[in-house]
Amino acid sequence: MKTLIVNQSAVAQLLPMRECIAVMEQTLTALARGDAVQPLRSVLRLPGDGNVLGMMPAYLAHPAAAGIKVITVFPGNQSAGYESHQGAVLLFEMQNGRLLSINDASAITAIRTSAVSAVATKLLARPDAGDLAILGSGTQAHGHLEAMLIARSIRRVRVWSRTLDHARAFAAHASRQHAIAVEVMETAQQAAAGADIICTVTAAREPILRGEWIAPGAHINAVGSSIRATRELDTRAVVQSRLFVDRRESTVNEAGDFLFPKQEGALGDEHIRGEIGEILAGRIAGRVASDEITLFKSLGLAVEDVASAHHIFLRAQERGLGDWVEFGGARDSAG
CA dist 106 and 84 (Å) reads 8
Per residue in 90-100, pLDDT tens?
999 999 999 99
Together in a domain, 92 and 134: no
Rounded-to-integer distance, Cα 63 and Cα 37, Å: 13
Nearest-Å Rg of the Cα atoms of the chain is 20
pLDDT tens per residue, range 52-83: 899 999 999 999 999 999 999 887 787 777 87
Q: What is the pLDDT of residue 287?
A: 96
The CATH number linked to 275 is 3.40.50.720
pLDDT value at residue 76? 79
Same structural domain, 186 and 252: yes
Claim to verify: residue 322 and residue 270 sit in the same structural domain: no
Confidence (pLDDT) at 334: 43
Tally Cβ neighbours within 10 Å of residue 42: 12
Q: pLDDT at position 38, please?
A: 95
Residue 332: the pLDDT is 64
CA within 13 Å, CB half, 214: 29
Structural domain tally of the chain? Answer: 2
What pLDDT, on a 0 to 100 scale, did the predictor assign at position 19?
Answer: 98
Check whether residue 42 and residue 158 sit in a common domain: no
> Does residue 335 fall inside a structural domain?
no
Same domain, 143 and 85: no
Tens digit of each residue's pLDDT (9 = 90 or more) over 299-320: 999 999 999 999 999 999 999 9
Q: Give the predicted TM-score (pTM) of the model.
A: 0.94
In the DSSP assignment, the letter for residue 230 is -
Who's near 72: CB < 8 A, 6+ residues apart? 46, 51, 52, 53, 54, 85, 86, 87
Do the domain assignments include residue 150?
yes
Q: Is residue 242 part of a domain?
A: yes
Question: Do residues 165 and 248 share a domain?
Answer: yes
Q: What is the pLDDT along the chain (335 residues), one digit of tens a residue?
A: 899 999 999 999 999 999 999 999 999 999 999 999 999 999 899 988 778 899 999 999 999 999 999 999 887 787 777 877 899 999 999 999 999 999 999 999 999 999 999 999 999 999 999 999 999 999 999 999 999 999 999 999 999 999 999 999 999 999 999 999 999 999 999 999 999 999 999 989 999 999 999 999 999 999 998 888 899 999 999 999 999 999 999 999 999 999 999 999 999 999 999 999 999 999 999 999 999 999 999 999 999 999 999 999 999 999 999 999 998 877 764 44
Q: Could you tell me if 293 and 307 lie in one domain?
A: no
pLDDT for res 6: 98
Full residue range of the structural domain in which residue 272 is found: 127-297
3-state secondary structure at position 78:
helix
Co-location of 154 and 264 in the same domain: yes
178 in any annotated domain: yes
Whichever domain contains 11, its CATH number is 3.30.1780.10
- The order of strands in the sheet holding 293-297 is 182-184, 156-160, 131-135, 197-200, 219-222, 293-297, 241-245, 272-275
